[in-house]
Structure 1
Amino acid sequence: MRIFQVINVRWFNATAWYAITLSKLLADAGHEVLVLTQAGTQSEAMAREAGLETVSVDLNTTNPLRFAAAARHIIQLLRTHRPEIVNCHRGEGFFLWGLLKLFGFHYQLVRTRGDQRPPRSDAINRWLHSGVSDAVVVTNRRMAEYFLHKMRTPGPGLWLIHGGVDTAKFHFDQAGRDRVREEFGFGPDDLVVGLLGRFDRVKGHKETIEAVAALRRQGMDNIRLLLIGFDTAMTTDQIEAHIRAAGVEDITRISGRRDDVAACVSALDIGVVASLWSEAIARSALEIMAAERPLVSTDVGVMPDLVDASVLVKPEDVDGLAEAIKGVATDPDLREQVLAAQKRTMSQLTLDEFLKRTLNLYQSLLEDA
């Protein structure tokens, strides 16, 4: 197949990761994939690093002259490459792709929603998503419900395709676990709780720190905290201020930027996703689960699709988060229940399944064209 993946995403966030991972899978499977990016962005750099063919098109501009130039560029690309599938991973520019399809360019148009923010349910958006696009892909059940009931998207045109995780890279690594625990001073009897995620208020570092502090005050003397991440929207200094305020400086470690993330995840005894909102795709959750670490989480975004209900808590509920961590740490039956549920979930969330489900969609669109 000839495929355009439109990834006009500035940052290398979950949306960009989903789109670039999918593009790489499709290209490696022998399909002709052209990735359309914003020039000079992290997403463009990551796509090129993955060995993908990229073309920069300024779809995010609000300048009418630049947008007209972008439209001419796209028309040129359509005439040159003649894609069968165009998959838009951002809303900016989606209207243009819809217009060009209506003006006679023959491609199947897919809109993938890897963002937890729902689109406006107005007449134009409903028309674009259900009357112009040939399919809408969502990455969690909550967004699927929104499209079915608010956007009035016909069921056959709505596809739920979760992201996948590279299980060749992310799996339990005993040697890596031992090495990382020794590096950070964690003993064999320590209970290491960890949060994997960029330093950003949305990720709930403050709540995780406070939950661990609460458990220590309750007498859990062997509890330790590993924050696997580095400066982005928040700095290490800001994270350390939360650590000092909670009084857990002596039991907390910050990884900084690492090349051995899989080993750091393996070093955990319990993983945490404490996000306050978002998590439409939850890359870090998939990586923790692939390493067979029991995961407790807030019930945002895609997390109810992934995590056993017994260890889901409300965002910002520090006491609930502490209780969930304590339950997994002290109740062997609960721990086994959580791990068994994760194993069933992860069997459907490999990269092979990610590719297979996407190809099923693309092939069905071409068959119906």
Structure 2
Amino acid sequence: MRIFQVINVRWFNATSWYALYLSKLLQDAGHEVLLITVPGSETEEKAIEMGLNVQTIELNSARPLKLINACTKVYSLIKKHKPHVVNCHRGEAFFWWGILHKLRMGYKLVRTRGDQRLPKSDFFNRYLHSKVADAVVVTNKRMADHFLEKMELAENRLWLIHGGVDSDKFCFDPEGRRQVREKFGFTEDDVVIGMLGRFDRVKGQKELIEALAKTRNNVDGKSIRLFLIGFPTATSKHEVDTWLTNNGLTDITAISGKCENVTACISAMDIGVIASLWSETIARAALEIMACERPLISTSVGVMPDLLPAQALVPPQDVNQLSLKLDEIINSPGFKEELLKEH
């Protein structure tokens, strides 16, 4: 089949990741895939790096001349490639491709929602998803329930497809674990609590730091270390350092910065934590941690209730509950083994 994947996201976030890896899998399966994104974006850069066919269009511009130029390019691509399927991963592009679809341009239209925000259930939105789109793909049960109950979408038009992970790339690496722990000064006796994710308020680094400061007093006889696998984006390193200083954790914390071997860094953990305040609609980091056979606890946001048992979850932004869950997983080998079986 000839497939257009439309992903007008500038940053290589989870939504972009889902679109790019779906494109790569389809291309590897023999389909003709064209990825359409915005110029000069991280998404474009990553797509080219992955060997995908890429076309850039100013899909996000509201300026009349750029909008006319974008529409002309879209029309030209349709005429040239005659796609069988167009899959829109963002709402802005979905609207325009929906109009072209209603003009009988000859393709099936799919709307993939990798966003944590529930769509409004007004008449126009219901019409767009149920009468214009041929199928809707969602990445978590909460979103699926919203489409069935609030958006009144027919069940046979809805597909729940969780994010995936390359288990050949992301698997426990004993040698990588040894090297990373040696590099950052972790001993074999240390219990390393790890978080994988960019420095951003949504990821909950602050809440994890505050929770671990409480937990540190409840684990007598155990040497606790914190490993933040990530780098500054919306949140600066200075801000993270301030949280660590204020909570007395500077001396037990290591920050990886940009990590060339993510699998080795994950393997260096003893316990993984997702402390996100919201989002985690796809939960790429969680899937990678689980694939590396590291026991994982999380806040109950996004897709996490689909991936982990209830006993591994705590409410978002609840530092006390997160601290208690850290106490439990650090002090209970049986709990860790139970979680690994669930992974």
- Tell me how far 1:286 sits from its aligned partner: 0.4
Query: 1:158-201, CA deviations, whole angstroms, 9 ceiling, x for partnerless residues?
Result: 00001110111111011111111111111111110010000000
What root-mean-square deviation, in Å, do the aligned CA atoms of Structure 1 and Structure 2 show?
1.0
Taking the aligned partners of 2:186 and 2:103, their CA distance within structure 1 comes to 63
Of stretches 275-284 and 71-80 in structure 1, the one that deviates more from structure 2 is 71-80
Query: 1:289-346, CA deviations, whole angstroms, 9 ceiling, x for partnerless residues?
Result: 000000000000000001121010001111211221221222222222111111xxxx
Asked if the contact 2:219/2:331 (under 8 Å) is kept, the reply is: no
Asked if the contact 1:111/1:137 (under 8 Å) is kept, the reply is: yes
Asked if the contact 1:35/1:54 (under 8 Å) is kept, the reply is: yes
Alignment match, 2:98: 98
Of stretches 216-225 and 87-96 in structure 1, the one that deviates more from structure 2 is 216-225
Of stretches 183-192 and 330-339 in structure 1, the one that deviates more from structure 2 is 330-339
Alignment match, 2:270: 269
The one-letter code matched in structure 2 to 1:108 is K
Residue 152 of structure 1: SS of its match in structure 2? coil
Q: 1:153-192 maps to which residues of 2 (within 5 A)?
A: 153-192=153-192
Residue 112 of structure 1: SS of its match in structure 2? strand
Asked if the contact 2:218/2:327 (under 8 Å) is kept, the reply is: no
Taking the aligned partners of 1:166 and 1:235, their CA distance within structure 2 comes to 30
The one-letter code matched in structure 1 to 2:62 is T
Query: 1:243-296, CA deviations, whole angstroms, 9 ceiling, x for partnerless residues?
Result: 001001111110000101100100001000000001100000001000000000
Residue 256 of structure 1: SS of its match in structure 2? coil
Query: 1:185-224, CA deviations, whole angstroms, 9 ceiling, x for partnerless residues?
Result: 1111111001000000000001111111111122444111
Asked if the contact 1:201/1:234 (under 8 Å) is kept, the reply is: yes
Alignment match, 1:255: 256
Asked if the contact 2:9/2:16 (under 8 Å) is kept, the reply is: yes
Alignment match, 2:208: 208
Taking the aligned partners of 2:171 and 2:322, their CA distance within structure 1 comes to 25
Alignment match, 2:45: 45
Query: 1:57-110, CA deviations, whole angstroms, 9 ceiling, x for partnerless residues?
Result: 112111233222211211111111000010000111211111111111111100
Alignment match, 1:118: 118
Alignment match, 1:88: 88
The one-letter code matched in structure 1 to 2:171 is H
Alignment match, 1:14: 14
Q: 1:14-93 maps to which residues of 2 (within 5 A)?
A: 14-93=14-93
Residue 93 of structure 1: SS of its match in structure 2? helix
Of stretches 327-336 and 71-80 in structure 1, the one that deviates more from structure 2 is 327-336
Alignment match, 1:329: 330
Asked if the contact 1:270/1:325 (under 8 Å) is kept, the reply is: no
The one-letter code matched in structure 2 to 1:282 is A
The one-letter code matched in structure 1 to 2:249 is V
Taking the aligned partners of 1:32 and 1:93, their CA distance within structure 2 comes to 20
Taking the aligned partners of 2:62 and 2:118, their CA distance within structure 1 comes to 22
Taking the aligned partners of 1:332 and 1:260, their CA distance within structure 2 comes to 28
Asked if the contact 2:226/2:253 (under 8 Å) is kept, the reply is: yes
| Count of residue pairs the alignment pairs up | 342
Alignment match, 1:351: none
Alignment match, 1:356: none
The one-letter code matched in structure 1 to 2:301 is V
Taking the aligned partners of 2:160 and 2:218, their CA distance within structure 1 comes to 42
Asked if the contact 2:138/2:160 (under 8 Å) is kept, the reply is: yes
Residue 92 of structure 1: SS of its match in structure 2? helix
- Tell me how far 1:123 sits from its aligned partner: 1.2
The one-letter code matched in structure 1 to 2:41 is T
Structure 1 residues 50 and 34 mapped into 2: Cα distance closer, same or farther (>3 Å)? same
Of stretches 211-220 and 187-196 in structure 1, the one that deviates more from structure 2 is 211-220
The one-letter code matched in structure 2 to 1:29 is A
Taking the aligned partners of 1:268 and 1:322, their CA distance within structure 2 comes to 18
Query: 1:124-175, CA deviations, whole angstroms, 9 ceiling, x for partnerless residues?
Result: 1111100010000000000001111111111110000011101111110111
Taking the aligned partners of 2:320 and 2:175, their CA distance within structure 1 comes to 34
Gaps of 5+ in 1: 343-369
